[in-house]
Structure 1
Amino acid sequence: MLRRGVSLLFKPCSSSAALALQTRSVNFYDAPNGPAVKLENIEDEWYNRQRPNLSLLDKTPWTQPDTWIAPNAVVAGDVDIYDQVAVFYGAVLRADLNKIRIGGTSVVLDRAVIHTARAVPTGLNPATLIGDHVTIEPFSVLRACRIEPKVIIGARSVICEGAIVESEAILTPGSVVPPARRIPSGELWGGNPARFIRKLTDHERDRVISEAAQHYLNLAERLKEEELPNGTAWRDVEAYREKLVANKEYTWINFREQKYLMRLQNEAAAMDKLMGQ
């Protein structure tokens, strides 16, 4: 990929002194040709080797063709993801100790964390099981719990081991569900620890919960269309620019080094000014 801010392309100068003078007066954002690309050895390349799907031991995530996983999300280990599921930016699904299952048309929003345990205090299944039409809002944490279909988990909520959230329930943002606690169907709960607030209205049960998930699924479709496919066209660009350098059409200037020298000059000037006082 592009190594931004490391080096720039300039026309060759007649002398090294003139080259240094030219560099010291460069404004990086106005520099000709913008950031340069240099061909590097594979072990030296500064690539983002982030992979959304990771195998752990002998377990590999299982997803559907219409599953969207953001480029910087992590889905690792024994994870089953069903139809039309979206995992947004920075979310982590780590199934190293047990299974994670996410039902169809569910969404895991930004920075949410879902993981499992080897065992839970109740003796129930320590896997994390999430049903259909579930919305897990940003920064929530779910561990070895069970979420039935048509549920909204409010932002920054924590659901502990062995807890169960029954279908058509809503947790307000910032809720904490203690271990082995059960949230009954058709109710709104919130607080730390989570407590009953009120019964859900028919509108909330029939439309709000489903529409919340569908809204984010529609957004995921647009985000998916904006992603660039993986490819190697950038290698041809790097080779072409390397050829220009080899033919003396351009000269490399290490912008990072020049920035460091400029900082030393500024520090020396400040010290001289201080001593003069």
Structure 2
Amino acid sequence: MNERFPWATILPFEGKVPQIHETAFIAPGARIIGDVTIGPEASVWYNCVLRGDIHRIEVGARSNVQDGSVFHVEGPRPDTEGCPTIIGEDCVIGHMAVVHGCTLEDRAFVGMGAVAMDDCRIGQGAMLGAGALLSPGKQIPPRQIWIGRPAKFLKEQSEAQVEKIRFQTERYCQLAKRHLATLNGAAEA
């Protein structure tokens, strides 16, 4: 049992132990397995799964992985070294998203129920819209919005839209502190 987050499942796998920054928040029901690093003030919300068993997962500072999301990776094969899942700083991952072996640059946004597959890259300040499917190897350039299944370019983001991503990350940092205080208070009662 993890002492800091006794309500979550945090497990080593084949000698790889999740590394969780002291200021990060892990919600009840979350499952974090193997080669996973969670950065400062990042948050992993209720019932998320981050399984770093055949490659690594990194979640950058202040990024939030919202309820029910699943992160996995692609391991090495004869034709590739595999694909880790790398989340930059200040990223927003909406509820029930699937992020598999791809990279999100700083301030990227993945909407609710969206799927980002192997070897994809979502550029800085870019958005994959709710319910969208970004097929393997696709790249969303910085500040673009892509939607649909398969995802296609919609438009460029304005500075005001990118600012909303910054607002969301700050709000989730504060919300995580409130949830942690409530959970710690319940544990002491």
Matches for 1:32-71 after TM superposition, within 5 Å: 51-71=8-28
Counterpart for residue 47 of structure 2: 90
Confirm or deny: 8 A CA contact 1:121 1:161 kept in the other structure: no
Give the counterpart of 1:100 among 54, 57, 68. 57
Confirm or deny: 8 A CA contact 1:161 1:179 kept in the other structure: yes
Relative to the length of structure 2, the TM-score reads: 0.90
Query: Tell me, which stretches of 5 or more residues in structure 2 are unaligned?
Result: 1-5
Structure 1 residues 229, 202: closer, same or farther in 2, change over 3 A? closer
State the shift of 1:51 in Å: 3.9
Higher strand proportion: 2
State the shift of 1:121 in Å: 10
User: Deviation digits for residues 166-214 of structure 1, max 9, x if unmatched?
Assistant: 1110111001000000111111111000000011112112x11111111
Structure 1 residues 121, 161: closer, same or farther in 2, change over 3 A? farther
Structure 1 residues 122, 185: closer, same or farther in 2, change over 3 A? farther
Give the counterpart of 1:167 among 110, 124, 135. 124
- The CA RMSD over aligned residues, in Å, is 2.1
State the shift of 1:50 in Å: 5.9
**1:158 matches 2:121:** no
Amino acid at match of 2:146: W
Amino acid at match of 2:131: G
Give the share of equivalent positions with the same residue, in percent: 27
Runs of 4+ in 1 over 2 A off after TM superposition: 49-52, 119-125, 228-231
Amino acid at match of 1:184: P
State the shift of 1:52 in Å: 2.7
The 1-side partners of 2:78 and 2:42 are apart by 30
Relative to the length of structure 1, the TM-score reads: 0.63
The 1-side partners of 2:42 and 2:176 are apart by 9
User: Which protein has greater RCO, CA pairs closer than 8 Å, 6+ apart?
Assistant: 1
Matches for 1:204-219 after TM superposition, within 5 Å: 204-205=161-162, 207-219=163-175
The 2-side partners of 1:137 and 1:121 are apart by 33
State the shift of 1:55 in Å: 0.9
Larger gyration radius, structure 1 or structure 2: 1
